[in-house]
């Protein structure tokens, strides 16, 4: 089985940029800046636009996740055992909120895993989506 040269995240980024009306050379530059890899060719990106649909994107994402699972599982087990439990015990012993300590640890761990910029972007996007009204919501329901 051959490994895809570009991750699904990069492909989706390229297609979203194109859907936003950006030209291919700009998209290539943005890819290089954001992902720190040599950009794909215009031909490859055009092929993605023609061949990627909802099912194929979902399939590619599942392959990416499955490939990362063993590494993620081992890292998570080690981190929980070596880092989280001591944080919770220390919070308990000092009379602090154990749940707050655990969540703080979790967010720090996620930031370390994703990198500060990606973590901030995902948190920002999450709250932006949660705080924006749904298309069905009217002004009256917001009051």
Is 39 in contact with 66 (CB distance < 8 Å)?
no
85 and 129 in a common domain? yes
pLDDT at 27: 95
- Is the dihedral angle over the CA atoms 26, 30, 31, 32 positive or is it negative? positive
Residue 140 lies in a domain: no
The token pair at 21 is 């009306």
Dihedral angle over CA of 55, 57, 60, 66, nearest 10 = -80
Rounded distance between C-alpha atoms, residue 129 and residue 132, angstroms:
5
pLDDT at 113: 83
pLDDT at 134: 64
Give the count of domains, the chain: 2
Whether 135 has a pLDDT exceeding 80, the answer reads no
pTM of the model: 0.47
Residue 82 lies in a domain: yes
Model confidence pLDDT, tens digit, residues 1-58: 445 688 888 888 898 899 899 999 999 999 999 999 999 999 999 998 888 776 777 7
Residue 64 lies in a domain: no
pLDDT at 119: 93
121 and 73 in a common domain? yes
28 and 2 in a common domain? yes
73 and 46 in a common domain? no
Residue 80 lies in a domain: yes
How far is the first Cα of the chain from the last one, in angstroms, to the nearest whole number? Answer: 55
pLDDT at 93: 96
Mean pLDDT for 116-125 is: 92
Whether 141 has a pLDDT exceeding 50, the answer reads no
Rounded distance between C-alpha atoms, residue 80 and residue 129, angstroms:
30
14 and 46 in a common domain? yes
Model confidence pLDDT, tens digit, residues 52-78: 776 777 787 788 788 888 888 888 888
Residue 108 lies in a domain: yes
Residue 116 lies in a domain: yes
Structural domain span for residue 94: 69-133
43 and 13 in a common domain? yes
- With cut-offs at 50, 70 and 90, classify the pLDDT of residue 107: very high
Which helix H or strand E contains 135, and what residues bound it? none
pLDDT at 33: 95
């Amino acid at each position: 089985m051959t490994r895809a040269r570009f991750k699904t995240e990069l492909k989706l980024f390229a297609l979203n940029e194109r859907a936003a009306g950006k030209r291919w050379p700009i998209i290539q530059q943005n890819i290089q800046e954001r992902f720190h890899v040599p950009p794909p060719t215009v031909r490859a990106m055009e092929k993605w636009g023609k061949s990627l649909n909802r099912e194929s994107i979902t399939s590619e994402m599942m392959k990416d996740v499955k490939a990362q699972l063993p590494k993620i599982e081992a890292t998570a087990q080690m981190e929980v055992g070596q880092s989280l439990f001591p944080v919770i015990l220390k919070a308990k012993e000092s009379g602090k909120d154990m749940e707050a300590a655990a969540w703080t640890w979790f967010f720090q761990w996620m930031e370390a895993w994703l990198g500060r910029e990606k973590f901030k972007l995902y948190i920002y996007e999450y709250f932006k989506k949660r705080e924006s009204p749904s298309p069905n919501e009217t002004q009256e329901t917001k009051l």
